[in-house]
Structure 1
């Protein structure tokens, strides 16, 4: 049974991935870690360590202490936050990747998962069914770090036979955790505000179409890629991953089927320029062919699940307050 370390386990994807991996491998074989104790649900769920993703020795000590052979590196500064703190984003996103790649190169671990993003694409990339291999000229610090990271992952695989695997995540939507400073965050916030206020003021324009994915699909894709035989993982930079694409207007109309008096307004801000540089839809045929990727949630099913779960969450919060 592999011993797994999740770095950045307190984040939006990292937290849900942690619980999924505990279900698969057993809680005793999964070590959650983060820079602090900010996600107590994760901290109290089993083995937890404080690990600084930018400190090679911090990671290495944890790896040796728990005999880790697989690392999921989920720590990162996302697109919108990265534009506010460009050098911090570069340092965190790049240093953490090099530390983990070098641990694998030197034989301390056997396998790595590192997430990339649709942010690797830019305004010169074809926006409809964006191909696996295409022009990449990202315009954000986050996108630049992910594009560079992809190149280093492929380099370490070819040069040092490092078993590193990666997915270009689209926007991720979850009811369990709040988003962490990304340009697609509106697609989570809108559900919360629909229940709380029946109104949402969106920071993107109504016709801004972006690729999105429900969290359950993103977690399943991650696990499926990591469980695939090495010979099936033919792309070692990062796989395109798609599921659904929609606009703020489209999602608001779907919400109105459940909450008829919901209203949306639009106040585009600096994130609009970021969104305009990204694809509208993704060609993920390589992932579907190589390791049988397939998504389960469409917009209708996702909206039903989001409103149901958030409704329960806020009702429970009122009862306990």
Structure 2
């Protein structure tokens, strides 16, 4: 089966490609701004790499046609901090880019599109702090707004054209090699910088609690969603969660200190991110669990251990 991964040289995209290859898939096209051997690493000779911009319609049409994809994992996007710094580019990349992928899928008879979304589609004012698949989406940032738009475009393409569209709303995804700034990227950098022997300042309060999952779990959930029987897919856009209970930033720091001798982690809340401080959110991912069998695999200790093993 031919598969196309937009953003395939990115954080989650690389792990999705790796898991698909491990499962025996051989026709994988990675589409990204810079799918260089330095980015692809051990995958360089195992995938077809195509450089391009998901916000450029011609690039998207060309790669969808050339790849002969039956399934597209649409993972390419600008993240939260860059999106808020440059809303016009975020709209072009995230909103129009998603439209281009969906329209190309329709034109070239692609069977399925898997869309990477985010808990950022909900904003920070959910009553009770628990996110559910049916909670009202009122995003606080441009990133979340573009992702919510992408989800709803996908629903229209599903209803109007019969495209097998499915969306997955990630929490904060933790793993080594995160380079793009985000609202909650401290969850990864706290571990990686401590492992390098560098002090790290967390820009929120110890009480701040955001849902997290490890990178391999995020990729596994994405592939599992794609492979679920169509008749099981009712909600279409799904929340997924990692470890439960969700640790707060202080508990994460303590777990890092327990595994990395002399880790220097302190907390200095950033006044430019007031909506984050003291935030306490949890996820109800019961639809993903019931409809396609999602089950997280990592607790906090295993996540940190796997993170450190990947770094070494």
The normalised TM-score by structure 2 is 0.92
2:224 aligns with 224
1:154-188 deviation digits (Å, cap 9, x = unpaired)? 1211122111111100000112x224222221111
Q: What is the aligned partner in structure 2 of residue 202 from structure 1?
A: 202
Deviations 1:117-147 (A, max 9, x none): 0001123313533221012211100011111
Q: What RMSD, in angstroms, separates the aligned Cα atoms of the two structures?
A: 1.9
Mapping 1:283-298, distance limit 5 Å: 283-298=284-299
1:33 aligns with 2:34: no
Query: 1:227 Cα shift?
Result: 0.4
Which runs of structure 2 are paired with 1:1-321 in the superposition (5 Å)?
A: 2-27=1-26, 29-38=27-36, 39-41=39-41, 42-175=43-176, 177-197=177-197, 199-236=199-236, 238-244=237-243, 245-269=246-270, 272-275=273-276, 280-310=281-311, 312=312
Aligned residues: 307
Residue in structure 2 matched with residue 319 of structure 1 by the alignment: none
Given that 1:52 and 1:59 are in contact with CA atoms closer than 8 Å, whether structure 2 keeps it comes out as yes
Greater alpha carbon shift after TM alignment, 262-271 vs 247-256? 262-271
Structure 2: stretches of 5+ with no match in the other structure: none
Deviation at 1:198, TM superposition (A): 5.3
Change (3 A) 1:5 1:274: farther
Give the Å deviation of 1:23.
Answer: 2.1
Give the distance between the partners of 1:279 and 1:149, measured in 2 at CA: 26
CA drift of 1:260 comes to: 4.2
Contact 1:186 1:202 in 2 (8 A): yes
CA distance, structure 1, for counterparts of residue 271 and residue 21 of structure 2? 38
Shift of 1:261: 2.6
Q: CA deviation at 1:207?
A: 1.2
